[in-house]
Amino acid sequence: MGVDAETTVADVGEFGLIAEVVPAELSERVLIGPGDDSALVRVGDAPVLVATDVLVENRHFRRDWVEAYDVGRRAAAANLADIAAMGGTTTALTVGFAAPGDLPERWAVDLARGIADEAALVGAEVVGGDVTAAEQVVVSVTVVGTCERAVRRDGARPGEVVALRGRIGWAAAGLAVLGRGFRSPRVVVDAYRRPEPPYDAGPQAARAGATAMIDVSDGLLADLGHVAGASGVTIDLDSAAFEIADPLRDVAAATNTDPLQFVLAGGDDHPLAATFAADDVPDGWTVVGRVGERRSAETVSVTVDGAPWEGSGGHQHYR
């Protein structure tokens, strides 16, 4: 592949690394390969959605911030939201679990209980996995599911609207609070500890004719950037369309932060963002922006009120 022996994964970043390791060609059994929230593969005559996410201690959670049960809920939620973002519903999960030998057994049992309880929200079950030793806790969840119509990231078209369903910015506010050694406002800390993705909204959006959709895990600007890039469009968000709740405003004031920063760049809430024809937006979704044409490769793909956002654009691995 022509990889320089001196180049590190931090040098190329998450998506540069993925581009290096993903096969250039896949078999006809792969209906949707890498590049979306989930893959879609043919198993016999049935198309099956598959996705995997990994949570690493001290990178994605801290044991002194989040109880084991809630780590389990978070680990499952991140994956269930990926299936929902394709317009599907999860049917089964497998779990890979690594931990140091001195980890209390109760912690591992509570983690498993959290995963099972979150999966039960969509009628899914844990059907297997693996356990091994490691220097820190690592939780890897793989989910499989089904859909009537898969919604990809590459279908957004100029003239459509961008709509959002689910809580956004709350987990980021909770992380900001915990990072400063506090535990209140409790409502945002709880939002960080246990997300509430709108699982039913994915199939709803697919039925309504969504043209593109994504799970907002790394921040709205960053994730809509994936939609814009895959679709070859631009997206402009309307800051006035976001309802910023009082707890977010309180945390922003206490931390000298623009509350929109939590909404636009914060991750871990796992709402769904989708593009629709203006008349197709289903109930419960909020229109927050519009899709435009991309005029050049240098064009900023996602803007806010017609201009580039000057704050952080969202989470990036290895940065």
Render pLDDT for 84-100 as a digit per residue (tens, 0 to 9): 999 999 999 999 999 99
Sorted by where each begins, the domain ranges of the chain are: 9-147, 161-304
pLDDT of residue 298: 76
Contacts of 264 (CB under 8 A, 6+ apart): 219, 220, 221, 237, 304, 309, 311, 314
Let me know if the fold of 9-147 is the same as that of 161-304: no
Residues making up the binding site for Mg(2+): 37, 52-53, 82, 130, 215, 218
* Domain 161-304: CATH superfamily, name plus number: PurM-like C-terminal domain (3.90.650.10)
3.40.30.10, 3.40.640.10, 2.40.10.10, 3.30.1330.10: CATH of 9-147 = 3.30.1330.10
Mean pLDDT of 179-184: 91
Average pLDDT over every residue of 240-269: 96
Q: State yes or no: pLDDT of 311 exceeds 80.
A: no
Region for 231 from its dihedrals, namely left if φ exceeds 0, alpha if ψ lies in -120 to 50, beta otherwise = alpha
The fraction of the chain above a pLDDT of 90, given in percent, is 83
State pTM to two decimals.
Answer: 0.91
**Residue stretches of the annotated binding site for substrate:** 60, 268
- If you average pLDDT over residues 281-297, what whole number do you get? 93
pLDDT exceeds cutoff 60 at 18: no
Residue type, 163: A
Contacts of 149 (CB under 8 A, 6+ apart): 87, 206, 207
Binding site per annotation, positions for ATP: 129-130, 153, 217
Range 292-305 average pLDDT: 88
Please determine, for residue 70, whether its predicted confidence score (pLDDT) is greater than 60: yes
Q: What is the mean pLDDT of residues 264-279?
A: 97
Query: What are the E-state strand segments in 148-285?
Result: 161-165, 212-215, 233-237, 272-276
More confident position, 1 or 278: 278
Mean pLDDT of the 162-167 span: 98
Query: DSSP character for 230?
Result: H
Task: Report d(CA 286, CA 105) in Å as an integer.
Answer: 43
Residue 318 has pLDDT above 50, yes or no: no
pLDDT in tens, 120-147: 999 999 999 999 999 999 999 999 999 9
What average pLDDT does the structure give for the chain?
A: 93
Residues 195, 79: contact at Cβ < 8 Å? no
* pLDDT given at position 21: 63
Binding site as annotated, residues: 37, 52-53, 60, 82, 129-130, 153, 215, 217-218, 268
